[in-house]
């Protein structure tokens, strides 16, 4: 039972999450893959993918073949394996195959640029990467700059030094004993952006996924073996990884994997075709769904979750009017493995982030670390057995964010008397755009590369749906005139240099930018102008 002091901002679930009692020797792949075979689910469909129906027995055998193939290549305990794949069965095979041999799986965005892959491969010191053939051209640009990388494995047609995934697993055994890892051994990493735009590898342990599933999916979401999951958020995100993979695999449910980039109409077509019961997405996409003609059948849905960015109350009400379902706003982070706040079915509050999930404690503190009174705004801290113990190779940032048992979320909140949490903004200048972290510094630096820009300041601004998007304030060099053509040129410049979702939706020319005495841009003053 949760313990709650009505006058305190702390909600304690410690009695709950201490009850898992995992053995000291524990490998997560046995829970999420092998256990389904032991429970007699071998013939049940685990994955729907395009026109394929893949059973739990097939998943089990392919995971084993993948683990053996990696081991045959010399991948050992704690070696990092980057999984650079779209949502697909091969993602599941490589993720759990790496984990089963004691290696460290690192889910990675398959739609980045070469420079991004170079950083991630070198930062993680990955010994192997598994990449889809569509991403291989970006890898080819940088693989000569990756001294730790030994193997490039391609799903599809390999080129150059790359190996064929299909051939590797065809020659590998489908029998594999799980490595005798500890419950506290490293299991997988999740990369998350920092305030400078440089990703940080949040390290997760073997017990983290089962902690989240057994203390969130079961008691809060009530997912069971009859459910079918579909997530518009991709598996390289911590949110999508749980939604599409280890949530359904834990309870013997099925999942729909869809490899394409999010497109509202295509996603609705998938729902209409497969009839999922659980659907996971982000507010930006839910807003776009409502603009699509009501020609798709959504009646199969019983639970809809929204995460990644604050859910405007208007979207909550519009979705309920359209579907009859509550749109459950949930909040988590890469560092926490998944969600630590969630609105629960039947008791959601529009505009709130919900209540603390049973896997966590939460508290709201001031800038000095002291707990604030109920109803006052402060910094949200969470504590639970699924939080990352540290960032890889980022000592100073670890000390800043992982404060003893508590994780600093970087969000400001207040809690009401009923235990609901209400978002009040970031404690830094980071912003969520379409569920993805965006650093204003990264956009500012990119804008400064344009010959017309003398200085730039970037902040979050609300669009017509109440969702946050980047806005740029630009101080031009004296030889340039403020013209509409330059606005478009600057937007296109950012699109070509960074992921397209990071481009500024608005560009405003200014005569000066507010700064501190040391020359730092005061973004809070720019936000106040809006």
Taking phi first (over 0 means left), then psi (-120 to 50 degrees means alpha), and beta for anything else, what does residue 484 get? alpha
Per-residue confidence (pLDDT) for residue 7, from 0 to 100:
47
- Residue 474 tokens, joined: 């630009």
Per-residue confidence (pLDDT) for residue 2, from 0 to 100:
42
Per-residue pLDDT tens over the stretch 194-227: 555 689 999 999 999 999 999 999 899 999 999 9
Which contiguous run of DSSP H or E holds residue 240? Answer: helix 238-241
Strands in 16-59 per DSSP E: 45-49, 52-55
In terms of Cα–Cα distance, which of 250, 196, 242 is closest to 430?
196
Alpha-carbon torsion angle 152, 233, 260, 503, nearest 10: -90
Q: At what angle do helices 440-448 and 484-497 cross, to 10 degrees?
A: 120
CB atoms within 10 A of CB 528: 10
Q: Are 152 and 137 in contact (CB under 8 A)?
A: no
Per-residue pLDDT tens over the stretch 109-157: 999 999 999 999 999 999 999 999 999 999 999 999 999 999 999 999 9
The most distant pair of C-alpha atoms in the chain lies apart, rounded to whole Å, by 73
- Residue 20 tokens, joined: 């898992």
Which contiguous run of DSSP H or E holds residue 221? Answer: none
- Residue 338 tokens, joined: 């998944």
**pLDDT for 367 beyond 90:** no
φ, ψ of residue 314 to 5 degrees: the values are: -60, -40
In terms of Cα–Cα distance, which of 504, 465, 501, 491 is closest to 284?
465
In this prediction, residue 341 has a pLDDT band, given cuts at 50, 70 and 90, of very high
Residue 132 β-bridge partners = 155
DSSP state string for 339-379: EEEEPPTT---TTS-BEE-TTEEEEEE-TTSPBPPTT--EE
Average pLDDT, integer, range 335-347: 96
Per-residue pLDDT tens over the stretch 263-292: 999 999 999 999 999 999 998 889 889 889
Per-residue confidence (pLDDT) for residue 427, from 0 to 100:
74
User: What is d(CA 189, CA 207) in angstroms, rounded to the nearest whole number?
Assistant: 13
- Could you tell me how far CA 148 lies from the centroid of its own chain? 26
> Taking all residues of the chain, what is their mean pLDDT, rounded to a whole number?
91
In terms of Cα–Cα distance, which of 164, 142, 144 is closest to 73?
164
| Length of the chain as a residue count | 530
Domains in the chain (CATH in brackets) are 1-23+206-433 (3.40.50.12780), 27-181 (3.40.50.12780), 439-528 (3.30.300.30)
Query: For the whole model, what pTM was predicted?
Result: 0.84
**pLDDT for 519 beyond 70:** no
DSSP conformation class of 178: P
Per-residue pLDDT tens over the stretch 26-60: 999 999 999 999 999 999 999 999 999 999 999 99
User: What is d(CA 49, CA 55) in angstroms, rounded to the nearest whole number?
Assistant: 11
Per-residue pLDDT tens over the stretch 437-462: 787 878 988 898 899 998 889 999 99
Per-residue confidence (pLDDT) for residue 439, from 0 to 100:
79
- Could you tell me how far CA 483 lies from the centroid of its own chain? 38
Taking phi first (over 0 means left), then psi (-120 to 50 degrees means alpha), and beta for anything else, what does residue 244 get? alpha
User: What is d(CA 484, CA 482) in angstroms, rounded to the nearest whole number?
Assistant: 7
């Amino acid at each position: 039972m949760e313990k709650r002091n009505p006058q305190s901002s702390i909600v304690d679930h410690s009695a709950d999450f201490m009850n898992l009692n995992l053995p000291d020797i524990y490998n997560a792949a046995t829970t999420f893959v092998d256990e389904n075979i032991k429970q007699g689910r071998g013939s049940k469909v685990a994955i729907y993918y395009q026109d394929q129906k893949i059973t739990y027995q097939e998943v089990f055998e392919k995971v084993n073949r993948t683990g053996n193939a990696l081991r045959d290549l010399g991948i050992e305990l704690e070696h990092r394996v980057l999984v650079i794949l779209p949502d697909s069965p091969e993602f599941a095979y490589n993720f759990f195959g790496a984990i089963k041999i004691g290696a460290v799986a690192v889910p990675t965005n398959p739609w980045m640029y070469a420079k991004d892959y170079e950083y991630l491969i070198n930062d993680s010191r990955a010994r192997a990467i598994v990449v889809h053939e569509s991403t291989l051209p970006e890898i080819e640009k940088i693989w000569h700059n990756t001294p730790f990388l030994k193997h490039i494995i391609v799903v599809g047609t390999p080129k150059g030094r790359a190996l064929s995934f299909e051939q590797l697993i065809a020659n590998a055994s489908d029998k594999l004993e799980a490595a005798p890892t500890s419950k506290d051994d490293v299991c997988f990493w999740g990369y998350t952006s920092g305030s400078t735009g440089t990703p940080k590898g949040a390290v997760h342990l073997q017990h983290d996924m089962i902690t989240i599933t057994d203390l969130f999916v079961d008691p809060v979401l009530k997912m069971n073996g009859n459910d079918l999951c579909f997530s518009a958020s991709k598996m390289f995100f911590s949110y999508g990884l749980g939604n599409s993979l280890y949530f359904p695999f834990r309870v013997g449910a099925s999942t729909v994997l869809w490899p394409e980039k999010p497109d509202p109409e295509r996603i609705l077509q998938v729902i209409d075709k497969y009839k999922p019961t659980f659907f996971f997405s982000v507010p930006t996409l839910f807003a776009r769904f409502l603009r699509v003609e009501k020609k798709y059948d959504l009646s199969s849905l019983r639970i809809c979750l929204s995460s990644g960015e604050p859910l405007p109350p208007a979207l909550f009400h519009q979705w309920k009017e359209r579907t009859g379902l509550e749109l459950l706003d949930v909040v988590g982070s890469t560092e926490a493995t998944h969600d630590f706040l969630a609105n629960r079915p039947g008791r959601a509050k529009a505009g709130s982030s919900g209540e603390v999930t049973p896997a966590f404690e939460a508290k709201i503190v001031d800038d000095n670390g002291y707990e604030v009174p109920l109803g006052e705004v402060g910094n949200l801290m969470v504590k639970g057995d699924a939080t990352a113990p540290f960032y890889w190779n980022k000592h100073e940032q670890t000390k800043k964010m992982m404060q003893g048992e508590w994780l600093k979320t970087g969000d400001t909140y207040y809690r009401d008397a009923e235990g609901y949490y209400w978002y009040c903004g970031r404690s830094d200048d980071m912003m969520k755009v379409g569920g993805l972290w965006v650093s204003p510094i990264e956009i500012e630096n990119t804008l400064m590369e344009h010959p017309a820009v003398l200085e730039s300041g970037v902040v979050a601004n609300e669009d017509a749906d109440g969702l946050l998007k980047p806005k740029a304030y630009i101080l031009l060099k004296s030889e340039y005139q403020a013209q509409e053509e330059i606005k478009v040129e600057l937007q296109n410049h950012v699109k070509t240099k960074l992921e397209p979702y990071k481009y500024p939706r608005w560009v405003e020319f200014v005569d000066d930018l507010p700064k501190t005495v040391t020359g730092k841009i005061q973004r809070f003053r720019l936000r106040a102008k809006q």
